[in-house]
Structure 1
Amino acid sequence: MPALILRRCGSLLLTLAAVSALIFLVMNVLPGDPAAIMLGTSASPETLDALRRELGLDQPVVLRYLQWLLDVATGDLGKSYTYGVPVAGLIADRLVVTLPLAVMAVLLSIVIAIPLGVISASRRNGAFDYTAGVFSQLFIALPGFWVALILILVFSISLDWFPAGGFPGWDRGILNGLRALLLPAIALALPQAGVLTRVTRSSVLEVINEDFVRTARAKGVSRRVALWRHAVRNALVPIVTILGLQFTFLIAGAILIENVFNLPGLGRLAYQALNQRDIIVMQDVVLFFAGLVIIMNFLVDMTYLLLDPRMRGRGQ
């Protein structure tokens, strides 16, 4: 077990190194002058030269990459050319919006999808199963930003229950902050709940007729207990996989939703950096997103070892 964890940690570090090299390559080595991209074609040669020296573009590529890795490892992500402040502070400020939004969306997705998927599997080909299937297909097909617009029209403009956009800040009260994030979280959660419902149903169907479930029923365990305690527990591995992927998607894929609701989150920061051609911010935000995906996959792998002891024995 410890050796397996060490191998996974080594794989994590190698993957992070490979991803960082790819990001640096795309941002700094491919054709095009980063300084000219940031300042535009109308900038004077003297201004371009000054920015190149400030960004270290006059140094060899390998040295620039190693210096960037060292800075990232020590928490120094550089300074935004557009905002004139450290990028680490920008990411931290935006993460306090995006992270709660993603957590709320995942929790809503779980609350909606797990019961729907489990009950659908237990009532296969029944009316409830068909209804849940329609729900999952509907929200998988609908774009998240379109769901967001419908929620704004109904609950903000027509009913005036929730704000249509903006974020008051957590210093205005936790309830006010959660209220501002509820509609965006629902818009993010519904498409993910559609996917998770289908995965949960399929996973439970695979184990619901296994020998251990029938044995539990033969020993007098009720149908409900056998379903939730035995079948669902042994169907968790693919469900956990999807949840890990969904969380990283909700962090990195919230760009459209945050722009629809005008939320000052990490996705909106990436969008603004792209529009403003702030390569330093783009480079660090993309690395953060990529690192988050890799770390979440690592945590999912570790969760497998807890859920399925057979994987420890195989050393996978």
Structure 2
Amino acid sequence: MITLIARRLAGLIITLLLVSALIFAVMDFLPGDPASVILGTSASADTLAALRQDMGLDQPLVLRYAAWLGGVLQGDLGQSYTYGVPVAGLIAERLAVTIPLAFIAVLLSIVIAIPLGVQAARHQNGLMDVVAGLFSHVSIAVPAFWVGLLLIILFSTVLGWMPAGGFPGWGSGFWAAFQALLLPAVALALPQAGVLTRVTRSAVLEVMNEDFVRTARSKGLSENTALWRHAVPNALIPVVTMLGLQFTFLIAGAVLVENVFNLPGVGRLAFQALAQRDVVVMQDVVLFFAALVIVMNFLVDLAYLIIDPRLRAGVR
């Protein structure tokens, strides 16, 4: 098992290095000149050349990549062209919004989808199955940002129960910050809950037809006990896989939702950096998203070994 984990870690490191090189190369070939964005189109050629030299943009691509990667490995993500502050501080500040938002959305997705998917499997072709199918189709088809706009109209404009946007900060109290994140979390959670409901239903249906579940029923266990004690735990592997993917999707999907709700998160930071041609911020944010996906896949692989003893038995 230790050998397997070591191999996965080595693969994770190699993948991160390859992804970082790809990100740097793609960002370098994007149209536009950061020096021109900072100084404006009326700047003289000499001034632009001096700024490019000061920013290191006159160096070869390989040297610039090596310098950037070396800084990243030391925790130095560079200096933002637009804000003039360290990018690490910018991202850390925005993560205080995006990470709680994603966690709340994942929890809402789990609370909605797993009970609904399990009941749909238990009552296959019944009313609950129809309701679950309808919910899945509608929630997957509707974009998260559009759901966010509807939630703002209903709960903020019409009912006045929730704030329409903005984030007061965690220093204003947990409840005020939670209220600001609740509607965007619902907007992010509903499409993911639709996908998770389908995955849960399919996984539970497959396990319910296994011999060990039928044996449990034949020994006198109630339908509920056989379902929750035997079927659901053995159906968790595809569900855990989807949850791991969903967390990364939610982080990336926050770009639009954070802009709809005017939240100062990582997604909004990425959008602003793109509009301002702040290449350093864009590189670091995209690398963060990519690293999050890779690390979450690694954690999901480890979760398989914890959930399924059969996998542990096959690992040396």
Provide the aligned C-alpha RMSD in A.
Answer: 1.6
Indicate conservation of the 8 Å contact 2:164/2:261, yes or no: yes
Report if the CA contact (8 A) 1:87-1:281 is conserved. yes
Distance 1:38 1:292, change over 3 A: farther
Instruction: Write out per-residue CA displacement over residues 267-297 of structure 1, whole angstroms, 9 at most, x where no aligned residue.
Output: 0000001111111111111111111111111
CA–CA separation in structure 2 for the residues paired with 1:33 and 1:179: 40
| Structure 2 CA distance for aligned equivalents of residues 177 and 160 of structure 1 | 17
Answer yes or no: is the 8 Å Cα contact 1:162–1:180 preserved in 2.
Answer: yes
Per-residue Cα deviation, 1:34-64 (whole angstroms, up to 9, x for no partner)? 5346555443212322222222222232222
- For the structure 1 residues 178 and 26, does the alpha-carbon distance in structure 2 shift closer, same or farther, using more than 3 Å as the test? same
Q: Secondary structure at the match of 1:253?
A: helix
Deviation (angstroms), 1:91: 0.2
- How far does residue 172 in structure 1 lie from its aligned partner after superposition? 0.4
Change (3 A) 1:52 1:315: farther
Report the count of equivalent residues: 316
Corresponding residue of 1:45: 45
Residue identity opposite 2:50 in structure 1: A
Q: Which residue matches 2:294?
A: 294
Please give the per-residue CA displacement for 1:215-268, whole angstroms capped at 9, x wherever unaligned: 111222221111011111011111011111110011111111101100011100
C-alpha separation between the residues in 2 aligned to 1:243 and 1:120? Answer: 19
User: What is aligned with 1:223?
Assistant: 223
Q: Structure 2: how far apart are the matches of 1:34 and 1:165?
A: 31
**TM-score under structure 2 length normalisation:** 0.96
Over 3 Å counting, the alpha-carbon distance change for 1:15 and 1:38 in structure 2 is: farther
Q: 2:188, 2:253 within 8 Å by CA — same for their partners in 1?
A: no
Contact 1:204 1:235 in 2 (8 A): yes
Q: Which amino acid aligns with 1:210?
A: E
Matched with 2:197 is 197
- 2:32–2:277 contact (8 Å) kept in structure 1: no
Distance apart, 1:8 and its partner CA: 0.2
Q: Which moved more, 1:105-114 or 1:305-314?
A: 305-314
Residue of structure 1 in register with 2:239 after alignment: 239
C-alpha contact 1:112 1:193 (8 A) present in aligned 2: yes
- Mapping of 1:1-316 within 5 angstroms? 1-29=1-29, 33-36=33-36, 39=39, 41-315=41-315
Q: Which runs of 5+ in 1 are unaligned?
A: none
2-structure distance, mates of 1:244, 1:38: 39
**In percent, how many aligned pairs have the same letter?**
70
CA contact under 8 A between 2:78 and 2:280: conserved in structure 1? yes
Q: Would the aligned equivalents of 1:38 and 1:279 in 2 still touch at CA under 8 Å?
A: no
TM-score, L = length of structure 1:
0.96
Structure 1 pair 172/10, CA: closer, same or farther in 2 (3 Å)? Answer: same
Cα contact 1:133–1:198 (8 A) shared by 2: yes
- How far does residue 96 in structure 1 lie from its aligned partner after superposition? 0.2
Letter in structure 2 aligned against 1:267: G
Deviation at 1:314, TM superposition (A): 4.0
Distance 1:315 1:58 in 2: 51
Q: Can you give the 5+ residue segments of structure 2 that lack an aligned partner in the other structure?
A: none
Give 2:11's aligned amino acid. S
